[in-house]
Structure 1
Amino acid sequence: MSQADDPQQDPIAYFLQDIAYQGKSERTQAAYERVLRDFEKFLEDGTDRTTTAQTLDSASHRDCMAYIHGLRGAVAESTVATYASYLHRFYGYMTQVGTFESNPMALVVEEIDESIDTDPQRRDISVPGMRSFVDRLAHPLDRAIVVTLLKTGIRAGELCNLDQRDLNLTDDPRDGMTVRPQLDGRPDSLYVSATPSRGSQTNGEHRRASNKRQRDTVIPVDPELRDVLVKWLAVRPDPVSEAKPLFTGTSDNWGRRITTDMVHHTVEAHARDVGWYHDGAGAADNVTPHYFRHFFTTHLRDRTGDRGIVKYLRGDVAQDIIDTYTHDWGSRVRDVYEQHIYQLL
């Protein structure tokens, strides 16, 4: 038996082999291995710490915090967040498969904003300004793409991977539509899975984009987004794929699942029209699909004052953290979301 087949002998090799099977690129695998081996070496050499764990399976949350703290000042804060997320995903997975008893990173990431962009130099667009931008969008697909991104904070790849089964609507206009079991009893909700990865088969279809969230997420659909999606569904081309993608092309790729390139091109074209995108400008100035995720995060966080709920909606935290908040998390998310989500139409 090789080390990669024995999680007890080399947990890192076992984890790397599994994410390779899941379709992660060689570059991603190498990044994970670099971070995990560095943490493993940190544990083995950690003679100056008050904690004594020297192996991955015995590491405590204090070991994890000491490692993350030691990174600060040596690398950028965004890199610190990336390292933390890699460790969290590694421990979360090894706990799920039963190799480790618990995830010591769970308490650590609760205090870290892993992915929230707080760059003060990023373009600042007000809700009224974004409302005017949305008002210019006449094409049903363009409008549905932009409003979905703005109202949910999902990534471009996650939007592309949505199937019709991932959307549950009150008085659903789609005849005979069967939604995911996770959406039963949750009308006007969108299910964003953590499973799809580039190169894998999901719902019987080869996927070209990955969902990068740490947990499956149910996101409320407010009346504005519902209205936009109903109008899109009324004119949406019949899908070519049996997976029945939610968003399909309306031009050369008629009926085929939209791609991340299409989403980026759509957003860029409309952003150029209003002076929000310029060749040669950096991410801080240009409006892209990722900017909409930043807009969602910033405005909803400021309105709610609740980072935990915003993290949940973004898919940045795992189930073990969610459980520390409330046993009725789903209802709380919907209540807070519906009270504070900004109006765009």
Structure 2
Amino acid sequence: MRALRGIASSRGMTRESIRRHLSSVKIFLDFIKSRGLTIINVDLHILWDFLQHIVEGGAKYKTIENYFSALLSFYDYLAFEGIVDRNIVLPFRKRYLKRYKSVYDDPQRRLLSVEEMSRLVNSIMDPRDKAIAVLLAKTGIRRGELLRLDIDDVNWENYSITLKPTPKRSNRIVFFDDECARLCVGWLRVREKLNPPTKALFISYQSLQRLDRNGLWNAIIKYARRQDSTTPSRRA
């Protein structure tokens, strides 16, 4: 980190820019450490997972750019010192961040109107998928936050949910209404009969384990397509 600070200073970066670069690299190092990896083990798949991690934490495109600018400098230094064979961040940044920018800049990406959302919800017959759609719509929680929910996170006395901590969210408590409660209770009755070996609130019908990103996508997007709604690419 000291070496990275020296590189940043030599490039004429401001103190605040240096601080952001160091913070970005530290967050990345903590991320790969949590996976049992080191800087030498990082490949394109790990960079993609990290990108998804910060996006689900609420990072906007400019913040994402800052993260990968810092990582680019970091891996430049590692390659120069012979610690890694090459700067793996460079091809990843050129290919995937440009594609991500197109998603953020896509004028067709928009919020559904109340009428469109109502039609979408009414078209869903599956109790799990309907509960998911209404919970996302009425609480405004992110996809990753929903996927990490456990049954114990729901407080039925005051109709609230305590979200798992993320770097970008300060208020972890969200509230839901009677309709949302009714649909979630309906899903919990179905879930109880499935007897899954997990505390996850939403599970896969196939594995009975916690629902993942692809499962959530498939659970919602098929209904949106039926409604001829605007649908983003799964991996932009």
Give the TM interval when normalised to the shorter protein: 0.5 to 0.7
Output one character per residue of 1:128-164: Cα deviation in whole Å (capped at 9) or x when no partner.
2211221111111111111111112222222121111
Listed as ranges, the matches of 1:58-73 within 5 Å are: none
TM-superposed deviation, 1:80: 2.6
Q: Distance in 2 between matches of 1:85 and 1:224?
A: 40
Distance 1:83 1:234, change over 3 A: same
- C-alpha deviation, 1:3, in angstroms: 5.7
The match for 2:179 among 224, 233, 247 is 224
- Structure 1 residues 257 and 134 mapped into 2: Cα distance closer, same or farther (>3 Å)? same
Distance 2:140 2:68 in 1: 21
* 2-structure distance, mates of 1:289, 1:148: 20
2:34 matches 1:22: yes
Tell me what 1:327 maps to: none
Shift of 1:20: 2.4
Measure how far apart 1:188 and its partner are. Answer: 0.9
The residue type paired with residue 177 of structure 2 is D
Alpha-carbon deviation of 1:85? 8.2
Q: Deviations over 1:171-222 (max 9, x none)?
A: xxxxxxxxxxxxxxxx211111135xxxxxxxxxxxxxxxx74446111111
Instruction: Specify every segment of 5 or more residues in structure 2 that has no aligned partner in the other structure, as ranges.
Output: 4-20, 38-44, 52-59, 70-103
Pair 1:288–1:165, CA change in 2 (3 A): farther
Cα shift at 1:126: 1.9
Q: Among the aligned pairs, what percent are the same residue?
A: 27
SS, match of residue 286 in structure 1:
coil
Within 5 Å, which residues of 2 pair with 1:75-94?
Answer: 79-83=61-65
Question: Which structure is higher in helix share?
Answer: 2
Change (3 A) 1:16 1:257: closer
Task: Specify the alignment match of 1:259 in structure 2.
Answer: 212
In the alignment, structure 1 segments of 5+ residues that lack a partner are: 5-9, 32-77, 88-116, 171-186, 196-211, 277-284, 291-345
Task: Report the counterpart of residue 162 of structure 2 in structure 1.
Answer: 191
Residue 151 of structure 1 aligns with which residue?
138
What is residue 221 of structure 2 aligned with on the other side?
Answer: 268
- Residues 94-128 of structure 1, C-alpha deviations (whole Å, 9 max, x = no match): xxxxxxxxxxxxxxxxxxxxxxx796543563202
Aligned to 1:286: 231
CA 1:122–1:168 in structure 2 vs 1: closer, same or farther (change >3 Å)? same
1:228/1:30 CA distance change after superposition, 3 Å: closer
Query: Partners in 2 of 1:150 and 1:16 — Cα distance?
Result: 31
Q: What is the Cα-based RMSD across aligned positions, in Å?
A: 3.7
1:63-212 correspondence to structure 2 within 5 Å = 79-83=61-65, 120-123=107-110, 125-170=112-157, 187-195=158-166
Quick check: 2:153–2:161 contact (8 Å CA) kept in 1?
A: yes
Distance 2:145 2:49 in 1: 21
The residue type equivalent to 2:231 in the other structure is: N
CA distance in structure 1 between the partners assigned to 2:50 and 2:226 by the alignment: 40
Once the two structures are TM-superposed, the CA of residue 274 in structure 1 deviates from its matched residue by: 1.8
Summarize deviations over 1:195-250 as a string: whole Å, max 9, x none. 5xxxxxxxxxxxxxxxx744461111111211111111122122212xx1111223
Letter in structure 2 aligned against 1:138 = M
- Number of residue pairs matched by the alignment: 165
**8 Å CA contact retained: 1:156, 1:289:** no
> Residue 89 of structure 2 aligns with which residue?
none
SS in 2 for 1:190: strand
Alignment TM-score, normalising by the size of structure 1: 0.40
Q: Distance in 2 between matches of 1:30 and 1:256?
A: 23
